[in-house]
Amino acid sequence: MSDLGPTILVIEDEAAMRRFLRVSLESSGYRWVEAESAREGLTQAAARNPDLVLLDLGLPDQDGIDVTARLREWAKMPIIVISARGQEEDKVRALDAGADDYLTKPFGVNELLARIRVALRHAHGATGPSSPVLEIGGLKLDLERREVFVDGREVHLTPIEYKLLVLLAKHAGKVLTHRQILKEVWGPNQSEHTHYVRVHMAELRKKIETNPARPVYLATEPSVGYRLRDRPGEEE
């Protein structure tokens, strides 16, 4: 383990992938801890209390989605799933279980590091002092006055659009699944009506995006959900 930066716990049974992650993290100034199994990973998480967890789903002793759920019983640190499983249902299950993000193998170093930075920024913001004003790029939400501005121009939203935007802004940089959005905005009994989200997201984009066809703020995770970009215009 190195002696720099935030601590990242890598739970991954494949030796070659652990080496790749070790080099990538160490060269970027992160401390790292390794675990080859779910049992070891849960033990290390409890003992080390890392700043972030990189978690493979295909572990030899337990499914990574179950590990995510176990961690979420007590842990608040970001969890980024890294897996060869690219099916939409696996992504949705992992995110619904409490993962903050999902990367499908193979992936590039730059993308991995960008996702880590976003997750750590979000975690830091979540534990910092609360503010009635959220600012993300040119987007400004005044929660006390219930006002929204884009590049200094006030934007008038419907109650549902406002609630949707506030939810995404409070979790900027994090993927929210259709089910999570429906539960928070429309209530727990609407979890199957994903078309509600698509319709209102399309209307919201028309109001806050310069070009709704090429959104700067509201990114789509196909068939999974949506993400409000933590740094609009910056590649992730």
- Structure tokens that stand for 60 in this block: 């030899």
Q: 89 and 148: one domain?
A: no
CATH number of the domain enclosing 167: 1.10.10.10
1 belongs to a structural domain: no
Residue 129 has pLDDT above 70, yes or no: no
Q: 52 and 113: one domain?
A: yes
What average pLDDT does range 13-37 have in this prediction? Answer: 94
User: Which of residues 100, 127, 154 is at a domain's end?
Assistant: 127
Of the candidates 98, 63, 107, 104, the residue with the CA atom closest to the CA atom of residue 77: 98
Q: Which domain holds residue 213?
A: 133-228
pTM over 0.85? The answer is: no
203 belongs to a structural domain: yes
User: At residue 141, what are phi and psi to the nearest 5 degrees?
Assistant: -120, 120
91 belongs to a structural domain: yes
CATH number of the domain enclosing 56: 3.40.50.2300
Question: Can you tell me whether residue 197 is helix, strand or coil?
Answer: helix
Q: 25 and 100: one domain?
A: yes
188 vs 63 pLDDT, higher one: 63
Q: 189 and 98: one domain?
A: no
Residue 62 has pLDDT above 90, yes or no: yes
pLDDT digits (tens, 9 = 90+) for 83-123: 888 788 888 889 988 999 999 988 999 999 999 998 998 78
Q: 196 and 116: one domain?
A: no
Q: How many domains does the chain have?
A: 2
